[in-house]
C-alpha cells in the first residue's frame, strides 16, 4: 500500500516531509480594500535550488465556506471549504529566476479586484506558494494568511502599518523596479547608492519606480520615512 493511500499513511508522509528544512521563505504584504488592491511578495532562497527545474510563485485569494456555483459542475450548490476569487499574480503565476549570490530575494507584485457584493471580506484568505513547475513539482514553501488581518497590511483606507520596500528582478542586467509604501500620514524618500556611497538615484516613496543603471556592481537601496523608519535592500547589477 502506498504511503498516501490511507489517512494514516498520508499523515505520516506529510509529517516526514515537514521535518525537511525549507531553504525558501515567503513574505506577503497585501495593500487594498474590499474592492481590490496589490500584493507585494518577497521570496528568498537561502541557497541554490536543488533542481534546475523552473520555479514559479502563485498567489490565490480564497473565500472560505462559500457555496459553489454552476461552473463547479457536480459541486454546484455545495458548501466548499475554499473557492478562489482572485489571482494577484495571474492564473499562470510568476517565474522566479534564482541565480545567486545567496541568500537572494526576488520581489514580485500583482494587482487584484474583488466584488464586495459577493466576496465577503472577512471570509477571504491569501494562499501563496513556491513550486517547481517540472520534474517532481515539489512545493518549496507556502504562506497562508487572513486577508483582513491587520498584520498583512491591508486596510479599508488603503494604507500600511509598516513601510514596504522591494526591488525586482534581483540580480538584474541593469533595469529593475523599486516599490515603496509608507504608512498614512508619513512621507518618505528612496535613495540608491553604489558601493562607494555615491547617490545614483532618489525619489519620493509611495509608488513603483523603474530604474536603469549601466555600471555593473552592487547597489544599496534605502527608504527613510518622516517617522524615522529606515528600510534597506540591495540589488546586484550583472553585465
Question: How far are the Cα atoms of 123, 152, 181 from residue 148, in angstroms, in the given order?
Answer: 8, 8, 18
Q: How far, in Å, CA of 172 to CA of 167, rounded?
A: 10
Domain ranges of the chain: 1-157, 162-239
Count CA atoms within 13 Å of residue 160 on its CB side. Answer: 22
pLDDT digits (tens, 9 = 90+) for 74-115: 878 887 878 899 999 999 999 999 998 898 988 888 888 888
- 12 vs 55, residue with greater confidence: 55
Distances (CA, A) of 218 to 129, 173, 222, 234, 238: 29, 12, 13, 7, 9
Work out the pLDDT band at 204, boundaries 50, 70, 90: very high
What is the enclosing helix (H) or strand (E) of 139? strand 139-146
Alpha helices, DSSP H, located in the chain: 7-18
Question: Any idea what the Cα angle at residue 170 is, between residues 92 and 184, rounded to 5°?
Answer: 85
Whole-angstrom distance, CA of residue 28 vs CA of residue 41: 5
Distance from C-alpha of 49 to C-alpha of 95, rounded to nearest angstrom: 14
* pLDDT per position as a tens digit, 123-155: 899 999 999 999 989 999 999 888 866 334 443
Q: Which residues of 138-175 are buried (b: 16+ CB within 10 A; e: fewer)?
A: eebbebebbbbeeebbbbeeebbeebbbbbbbbbbeee
Q: What pLDDT shows up at residue 96?
A: 95
**What was the pLDDT predicted at 6?**
62
CATH architecture, domain defined by 1-157: Sandwich (2.60)
* 59, pLDDT greater than 90: yes
Give dist(CA 97, CA 56) in Å, integer.
9
Span 175-201, mean pLDDT? Answer: 90
User: Among the ranges 6-15, 29-38, 96-105, 154-163, which has the highest mean pLDDT value?
Assistant: 96-105
Instruction: Please give the share of the chain, as a percent, with pLDDT higher than 70.
Output: 90
Query: What is the pTM for the complete model shown?
Result: 0.61
If one compares 33 and 179, the residue with the highest pLDDT of the two is 179
Predicted pLDDT of residue 112: 87
1-157 and 162-239: identical CATH topology: yes
Q: Per DSSP, what are the bridge partners of residue 44? A: 25, 105
Distance CA 166, CA 180 (A): 7
Is 207 exposed, middle or buried (CB count within 10 Å of its CB: 0-12, 13-18, 19+)? exposed
Question: According to the model, what pLDDT value does residue 154 have?
Answer: 41
Minimum mean pLDDT range among 92-106, 156-170, 185-199:
156-170
Q: Looking at the domain that runs over 162-239, which CATH code has it been given?
A: 2.60.40.1930
State the burial class of residue 220 (Cβ atoms within 10 Å of its Cβ: 0-12, 13-18, 19+): middle
Give residue 161's pLDDT. 64
State percent of the chain over pLDDT 90. 34
Amino acid at each position: 500500500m502506498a504511503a498516501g493511500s490511507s489517512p494514516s499513511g498520508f499523515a505520516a508522509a506529510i509529517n516526514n516531509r515537514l521535518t525537511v528544512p525549507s531553504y525558501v521563505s515567503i513574505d506577503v504584504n497585501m495593500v487594498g480594500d474590499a474592492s481590490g488592491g496589490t500584493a507585494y511578495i518577497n521570496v528568498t532562497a537561502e541557497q541554490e535550488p536543488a533542481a534546475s527545474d523552473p520555479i514559479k510563485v502563485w498567489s490565490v485569494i480564497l473565500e472560505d465556506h462559500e457555496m459553489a456555483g454552476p461552473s463547479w459542475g457536480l459541486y454546484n450548490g455545495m458548501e466548499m471549504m475554499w473557492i478562489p476569487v482572485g489571482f494577484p499574480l495571474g492564473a499562470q503565476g510568476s517565474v522566479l529566476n534564482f541565480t545567486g549570490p545567496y541568500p537572494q530575494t526576488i520581489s514580485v507584485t500583482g494587482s487584484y479586484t474583488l466584488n464586495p457584493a459577493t466576496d465577503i471580506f472577512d471570509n477571504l484568505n491569501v494562499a501563496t506558494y513556491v513550486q517547481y513547475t517540472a520534474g517532481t513539482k515539489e512545493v518549496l514553501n507556502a504562506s497562508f494568511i487572513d486577508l483582513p488581518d491587520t498584520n498583512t497590511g491591508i486596510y479599508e483606507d488603503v494604507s500600511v502599518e509598516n513601510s514596504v520596500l522591494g526591488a525586482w528582478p534581483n540580480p538584474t542586467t541593469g533595469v529593475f523596479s523599486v516599490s515603496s509604501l509608507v504608512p498614512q500620514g508619513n512621507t518618505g524618500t528612496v535613495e540608491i547608492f553604489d558601493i562607494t556611497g555615491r547617490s545614483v538615484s532618489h525619489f519620493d516613496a509611495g509608488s513603483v519606480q523603474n530604474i536603469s543603471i549601466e555600471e555593473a556592481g552592487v547597489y544599496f537601496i534605502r527608504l527613510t520615512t518622516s517617522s524615522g523608519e529606515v528600510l534597506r535592500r540591495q540589488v546586484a547589477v550583472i553585465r
